[in-house]
Amino acid sequence: MPTYRELLQQVRSEISELDASRARELVDAGEPVVVDVREQDEWDEGHIPGAVHIPRGHLESRIERIAPDPSQQVLVYCSAGNRSAFAAKTLEEMGYDDVASLAGGFTDWKRNGFPVELQAGLDAQRRARYSRHLLIPEVGEQGQLKLLDSKILLIGAGGLGSPASLYLAAAGVGRIGIVDADVVDESNLQRQIVHSTERLGEAKVESAKRTIEALNPDVQVVAYKERLTSENVERILADGWDAIVDGADNFPTRYLVNDAAVWHDIPVVHGSIYRFEGQ
């Protein structure tokens, strides 16, 4: 049975390897898809500019999203060039025609003084909280960072606004604005799940703010205890929202939201329900 070193030597004899200088020429020319197969903590310490992070254990399942064309040139690297050699061999077996491993890995890249990109990432606590998002290729760490940096305005904290606010907060939307002039009533509690019995008589925006911030301390809630009108809509939208979730319960407000959103070029998500009908 061959040893690890014997396997590595055999694999290196069967793949293409590039030194750091040649790899930089290709990277600067924008030719290959550059794939970093190191672990998350290694990636966080710096990586080749423009590289895509796919840990070695996920390479087979994720590479096709990054490089759907098997004829596309792919450059893989790790810390010293060992893991990337095996990764290059795997890609060749998957049908990729032009794959190379960076000899000497990222260590040799840095030793040559080539550029390194440092990227603000999630800390350990956030990585644990949003771990299920990180497993989804369409979200991942960059997507989660975008969510944490996003700003969503919610019109209404009632039957539609309550679940929407909780899911937005749980997902890690960093700033949520809530517009509602009403107070919590006992008749609300069978469906408006962001409120509770102890909040009866409290402003809905303040009740929602308390629930959301208890659910996720990453979220900042901006409470607007007022009804949305033509007099205040410009002031509220001036706070800079990326999108609006319209949970209003009347048509005049919905038309106002639509007109203001079109004027300011802000995406709007609408929802409504009547008994057993919804849209």
pLDDT in tens, 194-228: 999 999 999 999 999 999 999 999 999 999 999 99
DSSP string, 132-184: HHHTSTTTHHHHHHHHHT-EEEEE-SSTTHHHHHHHHHHHT-SEEEEE---B-
pLDDT at 279: 67
Range list for CATH 3.40.50.720 in the chain: 150-278
pLDDT at 267: 97
pLDDT at 140: 87
Q: Name the CATH architecture for the domain at 150-278.
A: 3-Layer(aba) Sandwich (3.40)
Distant-in-sequence contacts of 206-215, Cβ < 8 A, 24+ apart: 207/157, 208/157, 208/161, 208/162, 208/165, 208/178, 208/180, 209/178, 211/166, 212/165, 212/166, 212/169, 212/176, 215/166, 215/169, 215/170
Range list for CATH 3.40.250.10 in the chain: 4-119
pLDDT at 158: 92
Residue ranges for the chain with pLDDT beneath 50: none
Q: Of 3.40.250.10, 1.10.132.10, 3.40.190.10, 3.40.718.10, which CATH number belongs to 4-119?
A: 3.40.250.10
- 155-196 pLDDT, tens digit per residue, is 999 999 999 999 999 999 999 999 999 999 999 999 999 999
Q: Count, in order, helices (H) and strands (E) of the chain.
A: 13, 12
Say whether pTM exceeds 0.85.
no
